[in-house]
A and B are shown apart, each in its own frame.
Chain A
Amino acid sequence: MRRITELAVILSLVLGVSVLLVLAASILLPGIEVRQLAFFYLYTTINPWFQNYTVNSPEAVTAIVWDYRGLDTLFETSVFYLALIAGLALARGLFSETPQGSFNEKTHGLTTIVKTVTRVTAPMIIAVGASIGLHGHLTPGGGFQGGATIAVIPLVFIVVYSTLFLIARGVTSNKMLVLRSIGLLGIGFTSIAAFLIGLAIGRFAYVFQNMPKPGAVVGLPADINGALISGTLWFFNLFEMIAVAAGFTIAFIILLLAGRGGSGGR
C-alpha cells in the first residue's frame, strides 16, 4: 500500500512538473500582447471619446484601485483596519496610556546632531508623502503610498526623541484614533457620494459610482476649473492617506510604549 502511494506521488510530480514546463513556455515568459481585461483598463482609463466608461484619470493603477475595483479596495481597507484593531486588542494591558515622567531634551533620545537633522527632514518627508498621496490620480502614487511614507515620521521621531516627546507634543493614540476614524468615515461617505446626490435630485445612481454611466447620469465632476480631480479618486486618496498614516502611528506609539510603566501583561 505504501509503495503504491509513493509511486502515485512520484508519477503525479512528474506529470505536474511537465504541465508546469508547458505553462512556463507559454505563460511565464512575458509576451508582446497584454491581456484583454488589461487592454480595456488601459484604453478607458482616460478617454474623452468614451465618456460613459472612462474614469478621467491618467493613472490606471489608481483608477483600478478606487474605481473599477473600488468595492474590493473598500473591503481591503476593512481588512487592514481589522488587522490593526486585532494588534491593538492584543497590546491592551501591556502599556499605560499616560507614561510617567515628562520629556527632557537632555536625557531622552539620541545626540543633538541626529535630533536637528530629524527636525529638518521631517517636514520634507511629510511634504513628499502628501504630494505622493494627493497627486495619486495624475502620477504614480496614491493614498496607500502617501500614507506609508508619512507613517515613517512617527517611527523616526519615537526612535530619535522617545515616545514622551510625541505625547508631550499632543500626538497621543486617542487623537490618532479620531483622525483615523475621520479617514474611514470619509472613505465611507465618498463611496456613497454619487448615490446621495442622486437621492437629493431624484435621479437613479449607484453606490461607488464615480463618472456618469449609461442609465445613471449622476456623477462627480472630473475637474474643478480645469484642474483634474477625477471625481471621487482625489477624495479617496486623501482619506485613505489620513487613515493609513494615523493607523500606523497608533500602532507604533503603543508598540514602543508596551512594557514601560504598564501593568506588565498580567
Chain B
Amino acid sequence: MNVYAETIVYLIMAVVSLLSVVAVYLAIVERDLIKAVIYSALQSGFYAVLYYLLMAPDIVLVYLPVAVGLIPGVLIVLISKTERWEKE
C-alpha cells in the first residue's frame, strides 16, 4: 500500500495541475469577463489543492480567502462598475 501512496499523491498533483492549465486557458480566451473571473477562481482552487499536497498549509490558509474570495469579488465589483464584454 505504501508503495502506491507516493504515486497516487503525485498523480493527484499532475491531474490538478493539468486541470489548472485548462482553467487558465479558458480564463484567458473567454470574452465574457465575469466568466473569465470565475475560471480564474477555479484555477485558484486547483492551486490551493496543489499547495496542500506540496505540504504548505500556511499558504493554503492565506491563499483560499485571498484568491478564491477577495480578488474575484473585487474584480466583479470593477466589472459591474465598468464594462462586461471584451471586444474582438
Direct contact, A vs B (beta carbon within 8 Å):
yes
Interfacial residues, chain A to chain B (CB-CB below 8 A): 61-62, 132, 140-142, 144-145, 148-149, 151-152, 155, 159, 248, 252, 255-256, 258-259
Tell whether B87 is near chain A: CB-to-CB under 8 Å. no
Main secondary structure, interface of B, reads helix
Nearest B residue to A248 via CB reads: B70
Please determine whether A151 and B81 come into contact, CB atoms closer than 8 angstroms.
Answer: no
CA distance A155 to B69 in the complex (A): 9
Interface pair B62/A152, CB less than 8 Å apart: no
Any chain A CB within 8 A of the CB of B3?
no
Q: Does B81 lie within 8 Å of A258, measured CB to CB?
A: yes
Name the residue of chain A whose CB is nearest to the CB of B81: A259
B74 touches A255 (CB 8 A): yes
Q: Is the CB of A140 within 8 A of B57?
A: yes
A144, B70: Cβ atoms closer than 8 Å: no
**Min C-beta distance of A41 to chain B, whole Å:** 14
CB-CB under 8 A for A151 and B58, given A255-B77, A256-B77, A258-B81: no
- B58 close to A155 (CB less than 8 A): no
CB pair B57 A155 closer than 8 Å: no
Over the window 62-79 of chain B, the binary record of Cβ atoms lying under 8 Å from chain A Cβ atoms (1 yes, 0 no) is 100110011001100110
Instruction: Give A255 to B57 CA distance when docked, in angstroms.
Output: 31
Contact of B65 among A61, A148, A159, A252 (CB under 8 A): A148
Please name all residues of chain B whose beta carbon is closer than 8 Å to the beta carbon of A252 when the two chains form the complex: 74
Q: Are A155 and B61 in touch, CB under 8 angstroms?
A: no
Which of A148, A155, A256, A258 is close to B62, meaning CB atoms less than 8 Å apart? Answer: A148
Q: Can you list 12 pairs linking A and B with CB atoms under 8 Å apart? A: A140-B58, A140-B60, A141-B58, A144-B62, A145-B58, A148-B65, A148-B70, A152-B65, A155-B73, A248-B70, A252-B74, A256-B77
Query: Smallest CB–CB gap between A145 and chain B, Å?
Result: 4
Asked if B66 and A148 make an inter-chain contact with CB atoms under 8 angstroms apart, the answer reads yes
A159 to B76, CA, bound (A): 11
Are the CB atoms of B74 and A152 closer together than 8 Å?
no
Residues of chain B lying within 8 A (CB to CB) of residue A141? 58, 61
Q: Which of A62, A132, A149 has the most CB of B within 10 A?
A: A149
Bound: A145/B61 CA distance, A? 6
**How far, in angstroms, from A142 to B57 measured CA to CA in the complex?**
11
A258 to B78, CA, bound (A): 10
10 closest cross-chain pairs (CB), A and B: A140-B57, A145-B61, A145-B62, A148-B65, A61-B58, A140-B58, A149-B65, A152-B69, A155-B73, A148-B66
Residue of A nearest to B60 (CB): A140
Complex: how many Å from CA A62 to CA B58?
9
- In the bound complex, how far is the Cα of B21 from the Cα of A114, in angstroms? 34
B60: chain A residues within 8 A (beta carbon): 140
Report Cα–Cα, A142/B58, bound state, in Å.
Answer: 8
* CB-CB nearest in chain B for A139: B57
Contacts of A142 in B (CB 8 A): 58
A61 to B81, CA, bound (A): 39
CB contacts under 8 Å to A, within B35-88, are 57-58, 60-62, 65-66, 69-70, 73-74, 77-78, 81
Interface centre among B57, B62, B69, B73 (most CB of A within 10 A): B62
Cα-based distance from A252 to B70 in the complex (angstroms) = 10
